[in-house]
Amino acid sequence: MNRQSNQQSRPVVRLRPGGGGRMSSIYGNFEKPKDVKGALKRLVKYLGSNVYLMLILILVMMISTVINLLGPVIQGRAIDAIDAFEKTKLFRNILLLGIVYGIGIVVSLSSGLISAYLTQKTVRKMRKDLFGKLVHLPIRYFDNHMHGDIMSRMTNDVDTIAQTISQAVASIISGIMTIIGVLAIMLFFSAKLTLISSVSIFLSVFVTVFLSKYIKKYFRRNQQLLGMINAQVEEAVYGHK
């Protein structure tokens, strides 16, 4: 009876984008981040603590981008050699293409390993700081917040950040370098075709920005439900003890 009365006396906690709360508050409005720029600055600060890994990752991604851009150029030369019936030139380009793609495989594996290591080091420091923060919080905080909500922030939210770092950092670096390299090659071969292709690129960016608004909403909803499930499981297990 005392346990039930204590659970009923807890205040209803509104769900936030990364955590859970009472089932009755799921359909209410959840809080938006109060300081997006501040959160991004803190994330960059965590990444900056591993600046040497970041520099190595950027260097590896530059090599990977150059290799990816060289592949089609060498293929074009090989096709030209076929049209001209130049067997020596054809075999030379095929051999060069094999070497380039072989190096590309090694570089791609290296970038994946470096990105994973960078992610784990960053998340480890983040979890350590988060645990240190929880240890020094007053008891009142734990009385006013669902245990599942806190668990969700320690696990699901941090895992989401880890996935974002692992996928986004390498993708952003590679994407920026690829765009610059492709534009340079396209302008070298044909400025008119580059202008025509740019129209489709701008349309793609517009569609991406438009869809991201809806994707963000459903992503928040997903994190919301994860927090609710953690809260329910924690209370159910706690109630059976």
Q: Is the dihedral of CA 213, 214, 217, 218 positive or negative?
A: negative
Q: Is the pLDDT of residue 56 over 80?
A: yes
Tell me the residue range of the domain where 46 lies: 32-240
Rg from Cα positions in the chain: 26
Q: Is 123 within the bounds of a domain?
A: yes
Q: What is the mean pLDDT of residues 23-29?
A: 39
Q: Is the pLDDT of residue 55 over 70?
A: yes
Q: Is 14 within the bounds of a domain?
A: no
Q: Is 183 within the bounds of a domain?
A: yes
Phi then psi for residue 44, to 5 deg, are: -65, -35
Reduced to 3 DSSP states, what percent helix, strand and coil does the chain have, rounded to the nearest 5? Answer: 85, 0, 15
Q: Is 8 within the bounds of a domain?
A: no
pLDDT, tens digit, for every residue of 120-158? 888 888 888 888 888 888 888 777 777 767 777 777 777
Q: Is 100 within the bounds of a domain?
A: yes
Closest CA to 148 of 14, 22, 12, 27: 22
- Assign residue 166 the CATH number of its domain: 1.20.1560.10
Length of the chain: 241
Q: CA 77, 82, 86, 92: dihedral to nearest 10 degrees?
A: 50
Q: Is 20 within the bounds of a domain?
A: no
Beta strands in 11-58 (DSSP E): none
Q: What is the mean pLDDT of residues 29-39?
A: 61
Q: What is the pLDDT of residue 4?
A: 45
pTM of the model as a whole: 0.58
Helix axes 87-135, 51-83, angle to 10 degrees: 160
Q: What is the pLDDT of residue 193?
A: 80
Which amino acid, 95?
Answer: L
Q: Is 67 within the bounds of a domain?
A: yes
pLDDT, tens digit, for every residue of 186-207? 888 777 887 887 787 788 878 8
Q: Is 185 within the bounds of a domain?
A: yes
DSSP type of residue 20? -
| SS3 at position 174 | helix
Q: Which residue has the higher pLDDT, 1 or 84?
A: 84
- What are 21's two structure tokens? 């709360």
Q: What is the pLDDT of residue 136?
A: 82
What's the structural domain count of the chain? 1
